[in-house]
Chains A and B, each alone.
Chain A
Amino acid sequence: MKIVATRDEAPGVRTMRLEFQDPLELEKFKQAYRTGMFGLYGIYGEGESTFCVASPETRNDYIECTFRKSGRVTAALASAEIGDLMTFRGPYGNRFPIEEFHGKNLLFIAGGIALPPTRSVIWSCLDQRDKFGKITIVYGARTVADLVYKQELEEWEKRDDVELVLTVDPGGETPDWKHRVGFVPTILEEAAPAAGNCVAVLCGPPIMIKFTLASLKKLGFEEENVYTTLENRMKCGIGKCGRCNVGSVYVCKEGPVFTAAEVSSMPQADL
């Protein structure tokens, strides 16, 4: 795949847009890709790394991924340039059941670098806006600089059919920060979106997920109506290498999308 555009989102976080070289491969991808799936992105000589497909199924003639530079492969990807070639395997995994969300209010909650998987659902829904009720997005990061997709945040803020709640952790604000200060679960409870007829999509680091789930429960959300993604370490993506299991679940095949009810039936110590 060819890198056709890159954008630096935050320190060490980059988004790349990739295009297929081979029209047949593009066609296969379009047939297979549904919002929520992930892929294995690689650079020869460095290896492969797992990221979600951050672009929605409604915009499927390219792939966007957003990654944080954190190891060998991501370091190599971070120094790749427009026009360079890289490898992609996928799309793998399951999807968000977006049709089941039709007619409902939607609540998106994301923390830090976990906005990419949420973003793919957000755009899938915004691209067919009339099928859904009220849309609320709660997004937080440690500091203002750590917020990703700043352009899109501005875009969502301007729309009157989206309610955007932005927050940074205490101490992470800048003098000109106009939004909230506080941890995601606290801010979520303050915003208090109604649980009735509402589906929540929640992505973030394990610790944030844990506390946010408790807040959602307080707000009256049933676990069946809360979706999240699990991001266990993966290598093959196709249920063979044996690495991504949580209990008897192969996250790469049966996930990465699960309801909170499914997650709480898994052995918690394995998460």
Chain B
Amino acid sequence: MATLLYSANLNDCIARWREEGLMVFGPATTGGVSGFQEVKDAGSLDLDLILTRSTLKELFFPRTEPMLGYRIGKQQIETEEFRPPEGRRIIFGVRPCDAAGMQVDDALFDWDYHDEYWFRRRDSSVIVSIACTHADDFCMCTSLNLSPDSTKGSDVLLRPLLAGNGWQVEALTERGENALASISSLLKEGGDPTAPVADVPVKFDLEACRSWLADPENFESRFWKEISERCIGCGSCTYLCPTCHCFDIQDEGDTYKGIRRKNWDSCSFSLFTMHTSGHNPRATQSARWRQRIMHKFNYFSLKFNVNSCTGCGRCTRECPVDMGVTETLQAISTLQR
């Protein structure tokens, strides 16, 4: 016997969680753009989407975030520290690849200096993922040693029932168990069969790619220029990636009052590494694309023992010139042979 949640009860679950003071977020579409939004009822959820356009990451690491406010008076400077909101949240209907992305950024934000902006939100959120029964051509979780029913980074995993009328429920963490405890009366026991997970073919040999990337000989290979000549440096692939985490710090305001903010940034932008002298270590777009690939599949994996890519495929799906990680790694795979 397994624990089941029938779709018919989802609305009541959301209501129950909200009564307990939890905010409920899930995939939803507004103005044609999908992302994780706060929802009041099950009807607002768009659970058929393969993936939302923007990722879960935004709920933990906003596009722009105030760090401190300042006000300059005649004699003194007053400052106010902004802290991330404390509210507890349930994020329902996450895809396994996005959930796995959380663990990647956990590793970075916990490296040496424990980043409160990230972990306050992380520690007060429950991630409820749904295994995928559908994928598209861009999905490639299996190429990254993940799967459409990966449990990495989730607190609860739901597996769709074959009949399409609900999910089998599995708590993976204590936080997940607590979230389920508050809706226990809405859960049922049953032996309903679950639907098979999506078939996601493996697209490249990750280990072979990694060893090619790790070889210093290949750093200045012509390959980089050839594979990335089309890139226009728009940064979409980094902004839509669940694991990309680079940011800038800027003051917004005037000499008297304002806010010091943390804003998303991207290694695809030419000013990202520009020295004041005008020297730019990554002066060409191909050097910047190489950095993105190297960072994800070589440097990050060396340092944190996890690849900084979960195979969601967004970078390829949304790239205006049809580039992406998939194509690059596939090409590297063929260079191997």
Mutual binders A and B: yes
Interfacial residues, chain A to chain B (CB-CB below 8 A):
42, 44-48, 70-71, 74, 85, 205-206, 231-233, 235-236, 238-243, 245-248, 253, 267, 269-271
Pick from A48, A239, A243, A248: contact of B299, CB under 8 Å: A248
Count of A-B contacts with CB under 8 A? 96
B254 in the interface (beta carbon within 8 A) = yes
Known: A44-B260, A232-B273. A242 touches B295 (CB 8 A): yes
Bound: A204/B287 CA distance, A? 24
Pick from A232, A238, A240: contact of B245, CB under 8 Å: A240
Establish whether residues A240 and B113, one from each chain, have CB atoms under 8 Å apart when the complex forms: yes
Known: A45-B255, A242-B295, A245-B295. A235 touches B220 (CB 8 A): no
Establish whether residues B276 and A70, one from each chain, have CB atoms under 8 Å apart when the complex forms: yes
11 contacts between A and B (CB under 8 A): A44-B72, A44-B253, A44-B258, A45-B253, A235-B248, A235-B265, A245-B299, A246-B281, A253-B112, A269-B219, A270-B287
Bound: A253/B249 CA distance, A? 18
Establish whether residues B273 and A233, one from each chain, have CB atoms under 8 Å apart when the complex forms: yes
Establish whether residues A47 and B112, one from each chain, have CB atoms under 8 Å apart when the complex forms: no
Establish whether residues A47 and B246, one from each chain, have CB atoms under 8 Å apart when the complex forms: no
B282 in the interface (beta carbon within 8 A) = yes
Pick from B220, B251, B253, B254: contact of A269, CB under 8 Å: B220
Question: What 20 new A-B contacts, CB under 8 Å, besides A44-B70, A242-B265, A246-B281?
Answer: A44-B77, A45-B256, A45-B258, A47-B260, A70-B277, A232-B281, A233-B273, A233-B276, A235-B247, A238-B112, A238-B113, A239-B112, A239-B113, A240-B109, A240-B115, A241-B247, A243-B246, A243-B272, A253-B112, A270-B281
Bound: A99/B68 CA distance, A? 39
Those 4 A-B pairs whose CB atoms lie nearest each other, nearest first: A242-B246, A248-B299, A44-B70, A70-B276
Known: A85-B77, A231-B275, A269-B219. A240 touches B70 (CB 8 A): no
Bound: A70/B302 CA distance, A? 36
Bound: A233/B282 CA distance, A? 11
A244 to chain B: closest residue by CB: B273
B216 in the interface (beta carbon within 8 A) = yes
Query: Hey, which chain A residues are within 8 Å of B8, CB to CB?
Result: none
Bound: A206/B256 CA distance, A? 38
Interfacial residues, chain B to chain A (CB-CB below 8 A):
70, 72, 76-77, 108-109, 111-113, 115, 216, 219-220, 245-251, 253-256, 258, 260, 265, 267, 272-277, 279, 281-282, 287, 291, 294-295, 298-299, 302-303
Known: A45-B70, A70-B276. A235 touches B249 (CB 8 A): yes
Most B C-beta atoms less than 10 A away, residue of A205, A242, A247: A242
A72 to chain B: closest residue by CB: B251
A1 to chain B, nearest CB (A): 11
Bound: A71/B250 CA distance, A? 14
Pick from A206, A231, A239, A247: contact of B111, CB under 8 Å: A239
Bound: A248/B115 CA distance, A? 21
Bound: A245/B295 CA distance, A? 9
Known: A242-B295, A245-B295, A245-B299. A270 touches B249 (CB 8 A): no
Bound: A270/B294 CA distance, A? 12
Bound: A43/B260 CA distance, A? 10
Query: Hey, which chain B residues are within 8 Å of A270, CB to CB?
Result: 281-282, 287, 291
Known: A269-B287, A270-B282. A248 touches B302 (CB 8 A): yes
Query: Hey, which chain A residues are within 8 Å of B299, CB to CB?
Result: 245, 247-248
Bound: A232/B274 CA distance, A? 8
Query: Hey, which chain B residues are within 8 Å of A71, CB to CB?
Result: 276
B109 to chain A, nearest CB (A): 7
Bound: A231/B277 CA distance, A? 11
Known: A47-B249, A243-B265, A248-B298. A232 touches B111 (CB 8 A): no
Bound: A253/B277 CA distance, A? 22
Bound: A168/B253 CA distance, A? 42
